[in-house]
Structure 1
Amino acid sequence: MTTHRSAEVDDLWKTFHRVVNMTSRELREWLGVQPDIAPQPTHERSPLGLAVADILAKRRVDLTVEDLAVMQRVVDVVEEEAAAAPRRAQANDERRRHRLMNVGHDPLRADDQR
């Protein structure tokens, strides 16, 4: 994945946007990040989730190598959870659902609701 125009990057871009079904704004709200408000020190934030929110605001041509690594990691997390449990189990298991939502995937949301 050295060039941003390769078929591999295009596939990752599509897969990432398929598995991340929350918008950047929804994800930031979930993570408790408001643009003009200082973060509260007691609230633990997901660095991976924050990176996802930043990527959602980018164009494909602006992706960095680090962004591509984050995108692949998120795809892996969501696919691992999907393989481990059906959607209903993901939604009913609070720990699992929160893990997924921390990276931008809400298992309660239908695939076409973004």
Structure 2
Amino acid sequence: MADSSALSPIELEVLWADFHSTVNMTAQEPAAWLRTRAAGAVGTSPPENAGGAAGRHVLAVLRRRRTELTADDVRLMREVVDRVAVLTEGSREPEPRATVTRHRLMSLGHDQLRP
């Protein structure tokens, strides 16, 4: 945790909890989603580095322990919590047909249709 030492243990605990409640998909679900999005409709085999950098970084953080976080991980966790809040702001009921927003959220590990 040396790289994330700028946060107090309590601040890190709060961020960790916020991130894991915001990212409501298991590590396997966004990984599969990112591979599907990278493969597209063609049906070719998706690349190992599928999805955007932020999505891949979310997956890396999901696979780490809190004590293994780097400063980049902490920065990403804050960004994801903030970005998901902005994208879901004001939406009482998620609409399945709002695909662009839903796809952006899923690329960050948040499924808007999940309770």
TM class, shorter-chain normalised? 0.7 to 0.9
- C-alpha change, 1:81 and 1:38, in structure 2 (3 Å) is closer
Shift in alpha-carbon separation, 1:22–1:99, aligned structure 2, 3 A: same
Match of 1:14 in 2: 17
Counterpart residue number, 2:35: 32
Give the CA RMSD over aligned residues.
Answer: 2.4
Structure 2 counterpart of 1:66, from 57, 72, 79 = 72
Give the distance between the partners of 1:30 and 1:66, measured in 2 at CA: 23
For the Cα contact (< 8 Å) 2:35–2:46, is it kept in 1? no
Query: 4+ runs of 1 displaced by more than 3 Å?
Result: none
Residue 106 of structure 1 aligns with which residue? 111
Aligned length: 104
Provide the rounded CA distance (Å) in 1 between the counterparts of 2:21 and 2:35.
Answer: 23
**Alpha-carbon distance, 1:2 to partner:** 2.6
Identify unmatched segments of 5+ residues in structure 1. Answer: none
Tell me the alpha carbon deviations over residues 28-73 of structure 1, each in whole angstroms, 9 at most, x when there is no partner: 100008xxx77179xx621101100110011100000000001001
Query: CA 1:12–1:87 in 2, change beyond 3 Å: closer, same or farther?
Result: farther
